[in-house]
Chain A
Amino acid sequence: MSAKFDLNDDSLVVIIGSGAGGGTLANELAQKGIRSVVLEAGKRFKMDDIENDEWKMFGKISWLDKRYVVGPARIAEDFPNLPAWIVKGVGGATMHWAGVAMRFQEHEFKMKTTNGTVPGANVLDWPISLKEMEPYYVKAEKKMGVCGTEATGMPYHGKSSHYKVVAEGAKRIGARCEQAKLAINTEVRDGRPPCQVNGFCMQGCRIGAKWSTMYTEIPKAEATGNVEVRPQSMVLRIEHDKTGKVTGVLYADKDGNQQLQKARIVAVAGNSIESPRMLLNSESSMFPDGLANSSGQVGQNYMTHTTGGVYAEFEKPVHMYKSTVVPGIVHEWKDNDPTRGHLAGYELEILHLGLPFMSAFLNPGKGGWGRELADSLANYGNMAGFWICGEDMAVESNNITLHATEKDQYGLPVPVVYKTDHINDTRMRNHAYDRSKELFDAVGALKVNNLPPYPASHNMGTNRMSEHARDGVVNRWGQAHDIKNLFVSDGSQFTSSGTENPTLTIVALAIRQADYIADQMKRKEI
């Protein structure tokens, strides 16, 4: 039974956002008897709202509030108002993801120790290690139902035709390819059905086989009676008292009325553009640069992963859409081996788009037309391909700032996203393009198309964790260095991006953070 809390109740945790971070944190706290209000900017969707239709779902669930992309990268030209491809709705970006759930590698928590200072980058070690994270990874894998793991014992999905084409190419060039660990059921588990391979994982799973907080953590949290979710509640600012502790959250409700929810603790989990934006929007005479920003790092070090696409065309059908969206991963280049010409690693994630999205991303932007493109699209049925997902170097000037004059529908300054490659990103992407072509050529590709990066679904780093307060925004628990009852609970706390998709790590961190918050509350520290 969903709770209903008073606006003046100052004993609550107020969680902003209901995705992998916020949704998980709410449920973890609720199971411990800790009460929270979840403020979610988007609507609450029902299972019936989920369709196997790329553009309809894009229009329905995407975060489409005004944003600017600036910088010299092609994405600023191709998608000037869509830096990120994420969700505005209960469940957040756990609706829009392919379910890929891999743990970080040990070295990815210590990029600075591993590679030293990287010129032009702002690389730092995490204040936590893989060893400390391992028990939480196990809990996250259990919670989410990740196939192919010891934690669940659930088998992999089986080899789709798309997987088989890539695996054969990988074998011929001696690269390691494995089925993907996915938070998608392959058996009935946790009250959800097994995957039936609809091929539309990415925009919400119609049958709920894929883990999403929308229909797992959120209803479970509500069932405890300890959680109230308020959809269509857009946070305007986080309030604090004269001691510098946060005291509540001002938001616009679904009717546009301003409400102030008091709080004992505030946890920010609005994804890596909105989370720093909220902190910056909460500037005050005491915190003129925004909340928790004594380091100046709020909004900085924006990382998206080093991405790109590669789609090969063959003589005969592949039918890549008859598959989980990501059936497998080529892991060969995920390690940190500078002899390749770049630091850090990348994964080649076998991934299909439907024809409608392929037409938009094969050659995005104004120049995407003409016979070559049309010929490739007519050959859609014979395509196989990857999404390149590699570590993105933290660069301070890749950042989220507030527009000087332009306001959005809530009266808040529009976020401006600056993102461009570090030279390491460019080298890594080119390496990935080259290896992909070798792999596909080895299995008889007639043509291999390279796709530039499209709007980012992996957004990280803008409120990063650091050992020392001068280097980042939050400590090893996601707790603000400057304000002890303020937490960051999403991917914006990542110190490095890793090569792995971020969701599993966000969930593991949220489970860990819930333990810490419960402990600190018990000790009356917060």
Chain B
Amino acid sequence: MNKNKKTLLSSFGKSDNHCSDRRNFLAKSGKLALGASAVVVGGGLFSPNSFAAQKIGNDANTTLLKLARDIYPHDTLEDKYYVQVMSPMAEAAEKDAELFSLLEDGVKLLDKTSVEKYGVAFTQIKSEQERVVVLKMLEPTPFFQKIKGALMMGIYNNPEIWPLFGFGGSAWEKGGYINRGYDAIDWL
């Protein structure tokens, strides 16, 4: 029924395959077309030389991406949709000291909480269920809410994604649906 999941098993209790480690992520992003990698390389969040990687720590890239994917997990969505949200935020942090500490402190707290709870850094927690336990503990923080808010707009208000989830977007310029299937349904 739900195109969002691969199988229940792959999302719960087992390690999921999305960017479970840095190498895997880089291998994937290496396949992106140049246009898309420009986002990645050009001072973005996810290049090895990126601001986030340099300043927040080497694992910040994977940590933030993992966090983003866990907040609104859509296994069938490519990483680029999450990167499109996280990258501008990391770039903005270069010029915004408050945002920078929000992210830096947030990533630290995330890893600290993960270590306390499961003995490893956030990205090293293999099961989504356990990462969710950690994230639930961070839920009240401005760090978490900032990223959640940005992702909500970046994912669900993104016209590129609408067709994948079955939403039509703006219709008036196409004459609405009066002649485009407003009454069509075949399964009742």
Contacts and interface: CB of A to CB of B under 8 A. Distances in A.
Contact of A375 (B5, B140, B148): B5
B4 A378 contact: yes
A52 B171 CA distance: 7
B145 interface: yes
A370 B177 contact: no
Interface stretch (A292-300, A350-358, A518-526): A350-358
A52 B169 contact: yes
Interface string A463-494: 00000000000000000000000000000000
B23 interface: no
A471 B180 CA distance: 53
B42 interface: no
A198 B156 contact: no
A160 B90 CA distance: 44
B182 A323 contact: yes
Nearest to B1: A315
A364 to B, nearest CB: 10
A53 B167 CA distance: 12
Contacts of A51: 170
A382 B166 contact: yes
Contacts of A198: 171-172, 176-177
Nearest to A316: B187
Interface stretch (B29-37, B58-66, B70-78, B110-118): B70-78
Given A164-B188, A378-B2, A356 B183 contact: no
Contact of A377 (B76, B156, B187): B156
Nearest to A327: B182
A164 B183 contact: yes
Contacts of A369: 71-72, 135, 139, 148
B152 to A, nearest CB: 5
A199 B171 contact: yes
B2 A168 contact: no
A168 B188 contact: yes
Interface in A238-286: none
A156 interface: no
The secondary-structure label for the interface of chain A is loop
Nearest to B168: A321
Given A168-B188, A195-B178, A378-B74, 5 more contacts: A196-B178, A322-B181, A354-B167, A354-B169, A366-B148
Interface residues of B, number: 46
A313 B172 CA distance: 26
Contact of B71 (A356, A370, A443): A370
Contacts of A197: 171, 176-178, 182
B8 to A, nearest CB: 10
Interface string A38-51: 00000000000001
Contacts of A316: 187
A123 B153 CA distance: 42
Among the interface residues A158, A200, A355, A366, which one has the most CB atoms of the partner chain B within 10 A? A355
B124 interface: no
Contact of A360 (B152, B162, B165): B152
Contacts of B175: 196
Interface residues of A, number: 52
A151 interface: no
A158 B183 contact: yes
A44 to B, nearest CB: 21
Contact of A366 (B145, B162, B166): B145
A315 B5 CA distance: 14
Among the interface residues A168, A315, A319, A358, which one has the most CB atoms of the partner chain B within 10 A? A319
A381 interface: yes
B165 A366 contact: no
A142 interface: no
A323 B4 CA distance: 25
B185 to A, nearest CB: 4
Nearest to A209: B176
Contacts of A370: 70-73, 132
A152 interface: no
Interface in A299-333: 313, 315-319, 321-323
Contacts of A318: 185
Contacts of A161: 181-185
Interface string A348-390: 0000001110111000001111110111011111100000000
A55 interface: yes
Nearest to A373: B72
A368 B167 CA distance: 20
Contact of B153 (A55, A195, A321, A367): A55
B3 interface: yes
